């Protein structure tokens, strides 16, 4: 009897000593947040509790950190009048980007979607209704993603859609695994700032400083196209990043690897 009591106590102690992330359940929700990097250094993502899950499910947030490459991504939940300006800059500077769109954006802005594809950009999946994907079942998750892919293909002719950005950056191991089964690679980021609040824009210099201060080799940059500041700062960001030796690449050039 004493042997079993001692064994139980040892097992209980072992469980208490296990790292938290190894005890996480498949449907535990995480928000992709981290301490920002500065002066060319990487953000703290590898130290975050969700890192093992992201790694296991082959989601991406970096390109090749041995090369001065950058990946420009935009979230388009709705149109605020600045995406045309963003596209103008990208065309002028010959920079590729990926735009993650929702159902609302697809319904409201078919012409902008066509322009994105015609000018060589990718359209990614941001779900149809922008729900917290950790709170929907597998059937609903599939429906959310399939409708975006189908409607974008109908409007633009873009048949393939392999990149997904979870709404609000919220995910679980289950949502990463299920969307991966559906053919998607989840795309997070390593450079971002609080740019989506349209009533709290702080000017182009603020946007420029926030992005440039975080740049590092292999960065995946998240911007929101609703931001006036982003639209106005984008050209200078591109020019000055290039002066530092960076090259902007398409998301389809990013090699998914196990970090």
pLDDT score of 1: 44
pLDDT score of 236: 98
pLDDT score of 68: 96
DSSP label at 194?
S
pLDDT score of 93: 98
Rounded to whole angstroms, the Cα distance separating 236 from 225 reads 16
Rounded to whole angstroms, the Cα distance separating 202 from 256 reads 35
Domains of the chain: 27-253 (3.20.20.370)
Residue in the block written with tokens 């010959």? 94
Catalytic residue among 75, 130, 216, 229: 75
Rounded to whole angstroms, the Cα distance separating 225 from 83 reads 6
Rounded to whole angstroms, the Cα distance separating 54 from 186 reads 9
pLDDT score of 63: 94
Question: Is 224 a known active-site residue?
Answer: yes
CB 49, CB 21: distance < 8 Å: yes
3-state secondary structure of 178: helix
* Six token digits for residue 3: 């042997």
CB 112, CB 225: distance < 8 Å: no
pLDDT score of 38: 80
pLDDT score of 257: 65
In the chain, the largest separation of any two C-alpha atoms, in whole Å, equals 78
Catalytic residue among 130, 195, 224, 229: 224
Question: Is 31 a known active-site residue?
Answer: no
| pLDDT tens-digit profile, the chain (259 residues) | 444 444 444 434 433 444 444 445 678 899 998 888 787 777 788 889 999 999 999 999 999 999 999 999 999 999 999 999 999 999 999 999 999 999 999 999 999 999 999 999 999 999 999 999 999 999 999 999 999 999 999 999 999 999 999 999 999 999 999 999 999 999 999 999 999 999 999 999 999 999 999 999 999 999 999 999 999 999 999 999 999 999 999 999 998 765 5
CB 159, CB 153: distance < 8 Å: yes
86: left (phi over 0), alpha (psi -120 to 50) or beta: alpha
pLDDT score of 18: 42
pLDDT score of 140: 97
Rounded to whole angstroms, the Cα distance separating 123 from 96 reads 11
pLDDT score of 45: 87
């Amino acid at each position: 009897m004493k042997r079993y009591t001692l064994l139980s106590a040892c097992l209980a102690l072992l469980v208490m000593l296990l790292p938290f992330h190894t005890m996480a359940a498949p449907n535990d929700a995480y928000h992709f947040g981290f301490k920002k990097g500065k002066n060319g250094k990487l953000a703290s993502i590898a130290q975050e509790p969700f890192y093992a899950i992201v790694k296991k499910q082959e989601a991406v947030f970096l390109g090749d950190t041995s090369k001065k490459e950058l990946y420009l991504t935009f979230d388009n939940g709705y149109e605020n009048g600045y995406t045309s300006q963003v596209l103008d800059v990208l065309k002028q500077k010959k920079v590729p980007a990926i735009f993650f769109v929702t159902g609302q954006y697809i319904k409201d802005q078919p012409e902008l979607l066509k322009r994105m594809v015609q000018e060589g950009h990718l359209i990614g999946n941001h779900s149809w209704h922008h729900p917290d994907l950790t709170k929907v079942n597998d059937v609903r998750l599939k429906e959310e993603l399939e409708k975006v892919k189908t409607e974008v293909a109908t409007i633009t002719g873009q048949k393939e859609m392999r990149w997904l950005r979870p709404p609000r950056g919220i995910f679980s191991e289950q949502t990463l695994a299920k969307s991966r089964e559906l053919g998607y690679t989840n795309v997070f980021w390593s450079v971002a700032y609080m740019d989506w609040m349209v009533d709290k824009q702080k000017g182009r210099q603020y946007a420029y400083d926030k992005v440039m201060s975080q740049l590092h080799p292999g960065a995946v940059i998240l911007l929101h196209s609703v931001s006036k500041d982003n639209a106005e700062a984008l050209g200078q960001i591109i020019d000055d990043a290039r002066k530092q030796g960076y090259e902007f690449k398409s998301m389809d050039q990013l090699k998914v690897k196990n970090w």
